[in-house]
């Protein structure tokens, strides 16, 4: 349940105070030259054009339509108060303009903005909310197909996960009804690779099969059903090989997809050897299927001169563009990729969308007809990557009050058959292996293991959740061993003054987590409930309750530094409406709405005046993926930069024409405030157009301050940290292993939220998704490497009944991000997924109550079977 204060029954929307009827556009009447404010008389600004005055034969903008701020506007409403300080994007005093074109000042620090926000920070519903719930939102499979569209289905060997591919008989496939063509590796005119960077992901397998579900050929047919029936007719001749399936298999075979990596500080071995208290253990943390509602899908439409338009359900249109061009053997500029929306992504469409778009494009090139590929749910789950599963082993030293002295952590990660994004994913596991805790002496290692399973990939949190779970298990285990409450042990290990440097050398500068945890501790009645849980467990033999309050500290930025950039394209039309495009993609998270709010706020216009448009590589090129929780940070700032460039031109124009100092010009309430008067925004835009002022801009932003030298393991990989805390209470049945979440309380830091309604939705959704990962979602591979949980009948995502009746989510009352982010907000996409570590720790707490002092060996996900296994081991004294 969201904080009711953020959702009034009727939230007022910003209204357009400009005149209801728009006058016909026509040249303005001439004004005598003496009446025109010339540049020499206007306040000097380095944003001013040297010559904004009209030529002798050109009409000049009127300077007589200024409405006094105290008088009614054309719409009959009072004009805004002009006494409010102007926005800080006005030029600093004393700046000198360069000659020639308009020079644009960089955006100033946002802390200088004193104005009240009208659109940003308002709880506005998702721009497609009504379309989502009514089925009107158009996804790729809903698009009207061009005449003659063909359909694709993937063909693969259903008997082996690892084998030499000796021959494939496709004769019956080609003769099947409706089949137009069958694509194999030799049909690829360019490079047969769909990897992000490593060159180890063949689009169509040739010579060997490396995992169960690897695509060997692709059928192109007149209907999707015909294509799916035809692929079953293939006959494979193979030489079976023993697959490596588990982490243990890969470790035994010394099979690695990438080199090991490590960082830390101090002499951990010496610190451990000299410690009086030492704890060694390990925890296995499972993977997770993305289970996006819209599966992998792409449609390619061929054009002339090698052009190809690709509609792709992808988080990274630019990478799809690069991949399609590489496969087809053409230049990137020949490929246009468009994404209006995805029905969920969660990281599963960051790199995994490449293959299906490239296959559709290859089929379109070969046949000359539009081609669409939409994977069946079973094929999708079998063929695409998951969250990595890892085994974390730790050896720690601590004092009598539970403070950590030394930590030795090792992660063994199942990456699958190729590298994909495993370098970044596993690096981020290491970056978050401390979670919220200071490790005085520490070594963190990561092994990236190669197995004959699908290539694991990005998933919400991008490896960070594994590190957080390992850190929380360390704290929980110390608390059990010492007989202390885990919350007290957590607080004693928080980062703080003099204890504020991470294992990778970055200083934690804000340290607000203690305040967040302290507030939640009081608001959720933690200590009163702790006493109630103890009393319940003392009386109940079969049912046991658990309680845990866990923190989250999550770094925000891509650790691959060059990805921290974004572009945006903004057009202002002469009716005062705005066209917005940027490199971010919309997957239901509300990014498009948030960036539109930024644009509306900058121009002081209602949100409905901003037209949201599909992400398109022909409009904004060379984009980063919408990932790493950075979508709003990057694209919001890029859009703001574009708006401020246009506003700077308008300010100079208005200052020149009306003789008003730039610092007395502001944009709000659909008006341009000019000293003590106001003019409707659209009228100013018209006048600017007639005066030949450019009303379009391409904005650009790159994240400042971040550096990371991976070879030396030093730098500042994150611009800032997002924080949160959650308290969860559970009940388990010690006879069956069943578990119920009874109550959840969340307090999360979003800085100055861009949209509290959207952010609370992200927090709640992330929590439930993470809860599923840690409790019900179990990926099962058999000994032959075949995924046995490839449908909702066997793979259990959370449902509405799994959400507790008491589910309270509140936003931390923050003064704003200390870093200069978009309107001082903080990222919210990934950090909430780690909040349900509180559910997992509460289950651990409940099991631990069976035999105090014994550390339960509970692995994730905590399914009934895993809970029963941990209960039996605890009763035996641990295992």
DSSP-assigned letters across all residues of 24-78: PP-PPPP--GGGSPPTTTSPP-TTS-S--SPPTTSPPPPSS-PEETTSB-TTSSB
Determine whether 94 is exposed, middle or buried from the number of CB atoms within 10 Å of its CB (0-12, 13-18, 19+).
exposed
Max CA pair span of the chain:
98
Q: With contact defined as beta carbons under 8 Å apart, do 726 and 549 qualify?
A: yes
Q: With contact defined as beta carbons under 8 Å apart, do 627 and 350 qualify?
A: yes
CA distances from 672 to 79, 212, 517, 669, 675 (A): 10, 62, 44, 8, 10
Question: What sections of 513-626 are H helices per DSSP?
Answer: 513-523, 526-539, 591-603
| CA separation for the pair 662, 37 (Å, rounded) | 14
CB atoms within 10 A of CB 692: 12
- Per DSSP, 751 falls in state B
3-state secondary structure (DSSP) of residue 155: strand
- Per DSSP, 825 falls in state B
Q: With contact defined as beta carbons under 8 Å apart, do 455 and 416 qualify?
A: yes
Determine whether 515 is exposed, middle or buried from the number of CB atoms within 10 Å of its CB (0-12, 13-18, 19+).
middle
Q: With contact defined as beta carbons under 8 Å apart, do 657 and 690 qualify?
A: no
Secondary structure element (H or E) that encloses residue 726, with its range? strand 720-733
* pLDDT of res. 2: 46
User: In this structure, is the dihedral angle defined by the CA atoms of residues 292, 295, 296 and 301, taken in order, positive or negative?
Assistant: negative
* pLDDT of res. 67: 52
**Phi and psi angles of residue 865, each rounded to the nearest 5 degrees, phi first:** -65, -45
Tokens (6 digits) for 718: 């994150």
Tokens (6 digits) for 225: 């059903």
CA distances from 292 to 13, 21, 342, 344, 346 (A): 32, 45, 9, 5, 7
Radius of gyration of the chain (CA): 30
* pLDDT of res. 879: 56
Question: What sections of 368-485 are H helices per DSSP?
Answer: 377-383, 422-431, 464-482
Block means of pLDDT (10 residues each) for the chain, 879 residues, are: 41 38 33 30 31 38 46 38 33 31 34 72 97 97 98 98 98 98 98 97 98 98 98 98 98 98 98 97 98 98 98 98 98 98 98 98 98 98 98 98 98 98 98 98 98 98 98 98 98 97 96 97 98 98 98 97 98 98 98 98 98 98 96 98 98 97 97 97 98 98 97 96 98 98 98 98 98 98 98 96 96 97 98 98 98 98 98 88
| CA separation for the pair 833, 843 (Å, rounded) | 17
Secondary structure element (H or E) that encloses residue 696, with its range? strand 696-702
Q: With contact defined as beta carbons under 8 Å apart, do 50 and 656 qualify?
A: no
Tell me the sheet residues that pair with 668: 671
Secondary structure element (H or E) that encloses residue 311, with its range? strand 308-312
Tokens (6 digits) for 145: 């197909």
Secondary structure element (H or E) that encloses residue 449, with its range? strand 441-450
Q: With contact defined as beta carbons under 8 Å apart, do 325 and 335 qualify?
A: yes
Contacts (Cβ under 8 Å, ≥6 apart) of 200: 193, 418, 419
* pLDDT of res. 877: 87
- Active-site annotation, residues: 830
């Amino acid at each position: 349940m969201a904080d009711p204060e953020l959702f009034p029954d009727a939230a007022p929307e910003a209204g357009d105070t400009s005149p209801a009827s728009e006058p016909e556009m026509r040249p303005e009447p001439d004004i005598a030259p003496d009446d025109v404010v010339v540049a020499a008389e206007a306040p000097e600004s380095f944003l001013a054009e040297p010559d904004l005055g009209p030529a002798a034969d050109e009409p000049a903008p009127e300077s007589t339509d200024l409405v006094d701020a105290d008088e009614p506007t054309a719409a009959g409403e009072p004009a805004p108060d002009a006494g409010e300080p102007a926005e800080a994007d006005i030029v600093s005093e004393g700046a000198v303009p360069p000659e020639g074109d308009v020079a644009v000042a960089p955006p100033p620090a946002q802390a200088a903005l004193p104005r009240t926000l009208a659109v940003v920070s308002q709880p506005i519903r998702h721009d497609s909310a009504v379309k989502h719930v009514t089925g009107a939102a158009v996804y790729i499979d809903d698009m009207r197909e061009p005449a003659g569209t063909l359909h694709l289905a993937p063909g693969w060997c259903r008997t082996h996960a690892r084998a030499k591919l000796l021959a494939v008989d496709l004769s019956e496939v080609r003769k099947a009804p409706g089949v137009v063509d069958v694509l194999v590796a030799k049909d690829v005119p360019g490079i047969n690779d769909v990897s992000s960077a490593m060159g180890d992901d063949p689009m169509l397998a040739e010579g060997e099969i490396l995992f169960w579900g690897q695509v060997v050929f692709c059928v192109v047919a007149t209907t999707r059903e015909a294509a799916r029936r035809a692929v079953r007719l293939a006959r494979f001749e193979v030489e079976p090989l023993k697959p490596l399936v588990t982490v243990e298999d890969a470790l035994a075979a010394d099979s690695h997809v990438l080199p090991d990596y490590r960082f830390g500080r101090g002499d951990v071995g010496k610190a451990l050897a000299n410690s009086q208290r030492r704890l060694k253990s390990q925890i296995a943390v499972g993977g997770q299927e993305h289970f996006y509602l819209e599966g992998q899908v792409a449609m390619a439409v061929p054009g002339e001169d090698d052009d190809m338009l690709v509609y792709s359900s992808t988080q990274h249109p630019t990478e799809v563009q690069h991949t399609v061009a590489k496969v087809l053997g053409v230049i990137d500029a020949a490929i246009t990729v468009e994404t209006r929306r995805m029905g969920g992504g969660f990281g599963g469409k960051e790199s995994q969308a490449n293959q299906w778009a490239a296959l559709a494009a290859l089929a379109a090139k070969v046949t000359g007809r539009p081609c669409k590929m939409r994977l069946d749910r079973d094929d999708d789950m079998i063929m695409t990557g998951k969250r990595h599963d890892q085994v974390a082993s730790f050896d720690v030293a601590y004092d009598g009050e539970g403070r950590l002295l030394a930590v030795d952590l090792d992660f063994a990660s199942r990456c699958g058959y190729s590298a994909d994004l495993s370098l970044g994913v596993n690096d981020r596991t290491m970056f978050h292996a401390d979670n919220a805790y200071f490790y005085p002496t520490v070594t963190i290692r990561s092994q990236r293991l190669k197995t004959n399973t699908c290539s694991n990939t990005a998933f919400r949190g991008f490896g960070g959740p594994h590190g957080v779970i390992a850190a929380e298990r360390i704290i929980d285990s110390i608390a059990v061993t010492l007989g202390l409450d885990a919350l007290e042990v957590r607080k004693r290990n928080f980062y703080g003054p003099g204890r504020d440097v991470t294992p990778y050398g970055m200083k934690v500068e804000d340290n607000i987590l203690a305040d967040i945890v302290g507030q939640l501790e009081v608001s959720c009645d933690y200590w009163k409930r702790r006493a109630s849980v103890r009393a319940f467990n003392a009386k109940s033999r079969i049912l046991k309750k658990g309680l845990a309050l866990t923190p989250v500290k999550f770094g925000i930025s891509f650790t691959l530094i060059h990805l921290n950039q974004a572009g945006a394209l903004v057009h202002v039309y002469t009716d005062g409406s705005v066209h917005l495009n940027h490199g971010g993609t919309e997957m239901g998270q509300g990014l498009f709405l948030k960036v539109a709010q930024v644009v509306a706020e900058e121009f002081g216009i209602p949100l409905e005046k901003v037209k949201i448009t599909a992400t398109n590589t022909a409009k904004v090129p060379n984009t980063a993926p919408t990932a790493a929780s950075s979508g709003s940070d990057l694209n919001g700032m890029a859009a703001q930069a574009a708006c401020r460039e246009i506003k700077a031109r308008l300010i100079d124009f208005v200052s020149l024409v009306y003789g008003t100092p730039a610092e007395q010009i502001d944009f709000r309430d659909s008006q341009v405030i000019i000293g003590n008067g106001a003019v409707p925004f659209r009228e100013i835009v018209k006048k600017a157009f007639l005066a030949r002022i450019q009303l379009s801009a391409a904005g650009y932003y790159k994240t400042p301050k971040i550096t990371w030298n991976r070879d030396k393991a030093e730098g500042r990989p994150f611009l800032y940290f997002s924080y949160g805390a959650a308290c969860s209470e559970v009940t388990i049945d010690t006879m069956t292993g069943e578990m119920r979440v009874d109550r959840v309380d969340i307090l999360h830091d979003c800085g100055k939220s861009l949209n509290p309604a959207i952010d609370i939705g992200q927090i709640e959704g992330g929590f439930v998704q993470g809860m599923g990962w840690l409790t019900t979602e179990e990926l099962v591979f058999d000994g032959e490497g075949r995924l046995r949980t490839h449908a909702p009948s066997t793979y259990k995502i959370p449902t509405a009944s799994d959400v507790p009746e008491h589910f309270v989510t509140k936003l931390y009352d923050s003064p704003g991000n200390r870093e200069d982010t978009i309107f001082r907000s903080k990222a919210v996409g990934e950090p909430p997924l780690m909040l349900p570590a509180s559910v997992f720790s509460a289950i651990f707490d409940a099991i631990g109550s069976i035999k105090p002092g014994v550390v339960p060996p509970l692995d994730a996900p905590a399914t009934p079977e895993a809970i029963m296994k941990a209960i039996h081991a605890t009763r035996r004294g641990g295992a």
